[in-house]
Structure formats: C-alpha cells, structure tokens
Amino acid sequence: MKSSDVVVGLDIGSSQIRLVVATKEENRWRVLSVSKNACTGLRKGVVVNIEDTAVAINKAVETAERVAGVPVERAIINIGGSHVLAHPARSKISVSRPDGEVGPEDVNRAISTAESIISRENFANREIIHVVPKSFSLDNQSDIPDPIGMNGSSLELDALIITGSTPFIRNLGKCVNQAGIEIEDVVASPLAAAQAVLNRRQKELGVALINIGMGTTDLAVYEEDQLIFTSSLPIGAGHITNDIAIVLKTSIEVAEKVKLEYGFAVSKDISAKKEINLSKISKSEEGNIKAKEIAEIIEARMEEIFRLINKELKKIKRDGMLPAGVVFTGGGAKLPGIVDLAKKILLLPAQIGFPVKMEGMSESLDDPAFAVVVGLLLSVNQEKIRSGGNIWEKVKGAISVGLPFSLPAKGKGFSDSSQTVDKIKEWFKTFLP
C-alpha cells in the first residue's frame, strides 16, 4: 500500500492525542489503526509546551504505524480553543463576464472579498481558518446555494468566517512538525465533530453540536443544512475533576477515577446512603465519601456549562428553538445523566452522538470521544468548510525563525488561489441534495 492512499486524522486535545489511520476507496472507509496517548502540553485547547505536545504526538504516531503497517507522514489536524472565533461576513461583486453568466472566478472573487473585509476589520494577529458560505444572492434573487451558470449583474455572498490566533496556530504547527508530521489540512474542532455525528436531517431542522473536551466545550449550530454559529467555552470536563479533587483534598488522578467510575450528573437520582470507598480507588486514600455529594459537585459544574451554552444560543435567538435539539460528543459526553440534565436546563431534546461506522477497527471508534478525529477523516474533499487560502503559507515567515517547520507541498495542504477555481464546482456539490 502506498502512503498516498492513506488518510490520517490527528486530534490534538487538551488531555489526549487521538490518531486514526484509514484508507478510502470510493465512498467506503477502512480503518487501519487507532491510537491515543496522554498529552500534558495543552491548556484549554492551546499549546503551552511544544516539547511535551510533540512527544505525545510522536508516541501516538509510533503506535499507529506499528498496527497499520504503513508510515504516517502527513495528517489532517484540528484547531480548537476559545481563540477560535466565528464572524459573519457579506461581500458584493459585479459579475465579470460580458454575458452576465456567473463563473467559478466570480465565486472565488466573492470569497476573497469577504476574506479581505474581515482582514480589514481590525483582526490583527488572526488567521482565517475557514470560509463557510451560507448562501448567495444574484440581483434580486436570494438564498441561492449554487449561482454558477446563472445570469445576473451583481453577486452577493453571505458567509461565516472562522479565524484563529496567529501565535496559537504557529505553536500548534511547530508541535506537529517537530513530531515529524506534515500538515495536510486543518479543520476547526466543532466542525469536525459535527461532520462525524450529525446527519443532514438534523442540520436541516436545527441542531447544536456540543463537544465537551477536557479543557474546552465547543459549540456548532446548524439550521437549514448550514452552519450558522460556532463558539468555544474555556471550560470542560477537566473542571469537574478539579472540583472533586478540591472537595476530597486528593490528587487529580484519584479525582478523575472517582468521576469516571462513580460520577453522575443528576444528584436526585443517587441514594443518600450510597458511599464510595476511596481505598478501593487508591491505596493512598482512606475513608468513604457520599456518592450523592460527588453527583452534586458534577451537577453544579455541568449546570454552569449548560447555562453558558444557553447564553451562546440566546445570542443567535436559538435558545429552546432547535427542533433536533443538542447532540453531545467528546470525552465529557460519556458522563451518565448528562442527557437528562441537558433537557432540564436547555429545554431541548438531547442525545449522545457517536461517529459514523467505518470498516476495519470501527469498534475502537464507537465512542463520542473520537468524534473529532473521525470528522477529520470525513472532511476530505468537503470544500464546504474550507478556506480558499493556505493558513500555513500566511504564517510561515514567523514559523521559520523558530523550530523547523515543513509547509505542505503544493496540492497537499489547503488549496491556494489557483487551485480554488478548479475546486469550485466540486465544492458546490456539498450544497445540493
């Protein structure tokens, strides 16, 4: 098997590195290997230690290579954290052809104009990660998904532009490069998770994807099959662990075990008589703790997260107004009782999201914590969530003065302006039934 036939997804999280090696033939995916490794080099989705993160990535890569039997040379990676922001943008251009027919070059100019508008609006030290087209207008006709081939004089684009902090992006790039991996593409974490678990019906009705990681909680809202909002909260499942550690006056490791083995998000469902023997969790601990007390700690923190999510939904007037409700992914989604608590606080239907099935080692991926990494694989050729520019090209000058950083070879990373026109037709297919 040639390395060019292999697709690799690399999810760089605040507590875990997850990596999946797979191949795609037509529309069938086959998983060759799945690996994960603990990571201590990130805080709230942002790199704080390049060396530790690079080592964690390298260990995950080595494990994956042994199982897959193929070298891992490049990967699609995620970008997360509260520095990732979404900005609505509109652009308007004149159709260039004399006969008034809209061509791919017109669409490309509309996207470039939207990017330039965002760049001029005091976005220093930020880079565009994605341009997500929502709809086009041609003269007096609005809500057009694909204007190519139509006739008119004035083309308008309504888009959502997702940006990230330039320094944070550089640091992430250095970590991946130091681990010996070439960056093939980049996808924002909530968009990747949504790609893996949401179906078209949910996106049409209106749904919120909530990815609860260790250090952050990401939100992506869809309606009429379009991404309409995304944000990231600097709070996650790790805060629950910290709360338990403080109350029990114990280590983070013991607190995490208590959370995973005995945690529950709805305290009223736990008997007041049930106790947890701490000595069974760690030989260094002794005594008992009420299971209901642990549940109360978890419930209080989860209520805070859900109320912050509801506040985000209120910004776009979608609180309590999403027919398909909320879908949870990420390691924090596995906490028992989370669905019932969400229904109570958010007043919406709720469920746990699992990644789509793949052939091969798919049983290893039947876990909401693997939603992002599976979504990275599925993002291949999904131009609907791509930027027309190469984010790494824009920051390579600054990167080159630090650790060595290999830019993707032409045709392997983000599409540059010359490639974008060639891909416009394929890109629009994602809008259509």
CA distances from 42 to 63, 163, 167, 178 (A): 21, 19, 14, 15
Helix, strand, coil percentages, rounded to 5, for the chain: 40, 30, 30
Residue with the larger pLDDT of the pair 122 and 263:
263
**Does position 166 have pLDDT exceeding 70, yes or no?**
yes
CB atoms within 10 A of CB 381: 13
Q: What is the per-residue pLDDT for 78?
A: 95
In this prediction, residues 147-164 reach a mean pLDDT of: 93
The string of pLDDT tens digits covering residues 275-297 is 999 999 988 888 899 999 999 99
User: In 5-100, which residue ranges form alpha helices assigned H by DSSP?
Assistant: 50-68
* 287 Ramachandran zone, left/alpha/beta (phi>0; psi -120 to 50): left
**Pair of tokens at residue 404:** 């060595």
In this prediction, residues 340-368 reach a mean pLDDT of: 93
How many Å apart are CA 37 and CA 34, to the nearest integer? 11
Q: DSSP assignment, residue 355?
A: P
CA torsion 280-285-287-292 (nearest 10°) is -70
Q: DSSP assignment, residue 4?
A: G
Which amino acid does the sequence have at 156? Answer: E
In this prediction, residues 153-164 reach a mean pLDDT of: 93
The string of pLDDT tens digits covering residues 7-25 is 999 999 999 999 999 998 8
Q: What is the per-residue pLDDT for 140?
A: 84
Sign of CA dihedral 330, 336, 265, 256: negative
The string of pLDDT tens digits covering residues 88-121 is 999 999 999 999 999 999 999 999 898 887 776 6
Domains, the chain: 3-83+166-193+357-431 (3.30.420.40), 86-162 (3.30.1490)
**Does position 68 have pLDDT exceeding 60, yes or no?**
yes
Q: What is the per-residue pLDDT for 4?
A: 58
Quick one: pLDDT band at residue 31, thresholds 50, 70, 90? very high
Q: Lowest-confidence range among 199-213, 222-236, 401-415?
A: 401-415
Q: DSSP assignment, residue 384?
A: G
Residue with the larger pLDDT of the pair 413 and 135:
135
* 353 Ramachandran zone, left/alpha/beta (phi>0; psi -120 to 50): beta
What is the pLDDT of the chain when averaged over all its residues?
A: 86
Report residue 245 CA to chain centroid gap.
28
Report residue 170 CA to chain centroid gap.
18
Quick one: pLDDT band at residue 44, thresholds 50, 70, 90? confident
Q: Which of 83-92, 198-207, 272-281 has the highest mean pLDDT?
A: 198-207
Return the half-sphere exposure (C-beta side, CA atoms, 13 A cut-off) of residue 289.
Answer: 24
Give the helix/strand (H/E) hosting 181: none
Q: What is the pTM of this model?
A: 0.86
Share of the chain above pLDDT 90, in %: 72
In this prediction, residues 298-309 reach a mean pLDDT of: 97
In this prediction, residues 399-406 reach a mean pLDDT of: 33
